[in-house]
């Protein structure tokens, strides 16, 4: 039986992760658009889990999200080890093109916010070329700085999108969405990290076979060595999961 809104999310080191497949995630997004009220979708990975441990506001944002997707093979490993297996990885970078394909069929209106100037527009152009019926009704770089928020919100609301994708990086993108959720009043709002960069060809994503082996993190580290500090979260995450497995929740 697939996941439903009435089924509670599972926990990895105390952080909720919803056990959904990609198809189930797409179905939930369609429901959110139909409902018309604001919904926040987050893509949880091990870095999110570890950041939330010392960032109470971010932890509260993850807990309050309407859908928490498992974006990271580390979460699948943790779920298996802790006896709470997740059906599959649902990565934001993989999901966004699939959302675009469905949006082209359903007539959903998308807005791309964030990344470096021009990148969101390039990503939109790539997806429009792939799906000619796709409506990307606006792109804007902007920033998560609060002094810019009012202007960005006016710009986004004027475009009347059904879905807003924000690439400000974690945790800034999801904190920004949560703070302005009611003002934005968009049916689906989702942080997408580096997805625009990958789609636009600005950043090189790991080959499929590397992703299937669970080594995308290593590929990103090789090509983006400045990420090494962020990558330190991965061994800490693994150690915490092992401690919970063999000592129990009191370990963390």
Q: Give per-residue pLDDT as tens, 16-69.
A: 999 999 999 999 999 999 999 999 999 999 999 999 999 999 999 999 999 999
The torsion angle over the Cα atoms of residues 56, 116, 218 and 90, rounded to 10 degrees, is 60
Write the pLDDT tens digit of every residue in 103-161: 999 999 999 999 999 999 999 999 999 999 999 999 999 999 999 999 999 999 999 99
- The share of the chain scoring above pLDDT 70, in percent, equals 82
How far is it, in rounded angstroms, from Cα 97 to Cα 178? 24
Residue 44 has a pLDDT of 96
Listed in sequence order, the residues at least 6 apart from 29 whose beta carbon sits closer than 8 Å to its beta carbon are 41, 67, 99, 102, 163, 188
Residue 246 has a pLDDT of 75
Sign of the dihedral through C-alpha 82, 85, 91, 96: negative
Residue 249 has a pLDDT of 61
SS3 of 66, please?
coil
pLDDT grade for 239, boundaries at 50, 70 and 90:
confident
Query: Which residues does residue 114 pair with via DSSP β-bridges, in sequence order?
Result: 167
* More confident: 205 or 241: 241
Report how far Cα 63 is from the mean position of its chain's Cα atoms.
14
Report whether pLDDT(250) > 90. Answer: no
Terminal alpha carbon distance of the chain: 31
pLDDT grade for 229, boundaries at 50, 70 and 90:
low
Picking from 168-172, 186-190, 233-237, which range would have the lowest pLDDT averaged per residue? 233-237
β pairing state of 15-17 and 163-167:
unpaired
Report whether pLDDT(212) > 60. Answer: no
SS3 of 114, please?
strand
Burial class of 169 by CB neighbour count within 10 A (0 to 12, 13 to 18, 19+): middle
How far is it, in rounded angstroms, from Cα 82 to Cα 246? 9
SS3 of 51, please?
helix
Burial class of 195 by CB neighbour count within 10 A (0 to 12, 13 to 18, 19+): buried
Residue 228 has a pLDDT of 39
Alpha helices of the chain — where are they, by DSSP H? 22-35, 46-53, 56-64, 73-81, 92-106, 119-130, 146-159, 172-184, 195-200, 208-212, 216-223, 228-231, 233-246
Check whether domain 10-200 has CATH 1.10.240.10, yes or no? no
Residue 209 has a pLDDT of 40
Residue 244 has a pLDDT of 84
Residue 221 has a pLDDT of 43
Phi and psi angles of residue 114, each rounded to the nearest 5 degrees, phi first: 110, -165
Write down the domain spans for the chain.
10-200
Residue with tokens 């807003």: 164
């Amino acid at each position: 039986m697939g996941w439903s809104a009435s089924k509670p999310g599972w926990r990895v080191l105390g952080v909720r992760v919803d056990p959904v497949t990609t198809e189930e995630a797409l179905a939930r997004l369609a429901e959110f658009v139909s409902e018309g009220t604001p919904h926040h979708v987050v893509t949880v990975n091990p870095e999110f889990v570890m950041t939330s441990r010392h960032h109470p506001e971010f932890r509260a944002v993850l807990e309050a999200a309407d859908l928490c997707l498992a974006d990271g093979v580390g979460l699948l490993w943790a779920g298996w080890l802790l006896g709470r297996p997740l059906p599959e990885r649902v990565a934001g970078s993989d999901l966004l093109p699939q959302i675009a394909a469905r949006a082209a069929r359903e007539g959903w209106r998308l807005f791309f916010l964030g990344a470096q100037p021009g990148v969101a527009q390039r990503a939109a152009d790539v997806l429009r070329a792939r799906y000619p019926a796709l409506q990307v009704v606006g792109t804007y770089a902007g920033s998560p700085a609060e002094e810019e928020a009012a202007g960005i919100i006016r710009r986004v609301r004027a475009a009347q999108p059904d879905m807003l994708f924000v690439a400000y990086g974690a945790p800034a993108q999801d904190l920004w969405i949560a703070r302005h959720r009611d003002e934005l009043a968009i049916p689906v709002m989702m942080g997408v990290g580096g997805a625009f960069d990958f789609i636009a060809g600005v950043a090189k994503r790991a080959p499929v076979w590397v992703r299937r082996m669970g080594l995308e993190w290593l590929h990103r580290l090789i090509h983006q060595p400045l990420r090494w500090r962020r990558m330190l979260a991965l061994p800490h995450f693994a150690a915490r999961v092992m401690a919970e497995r063999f000592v129990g929740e009191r370990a963390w």
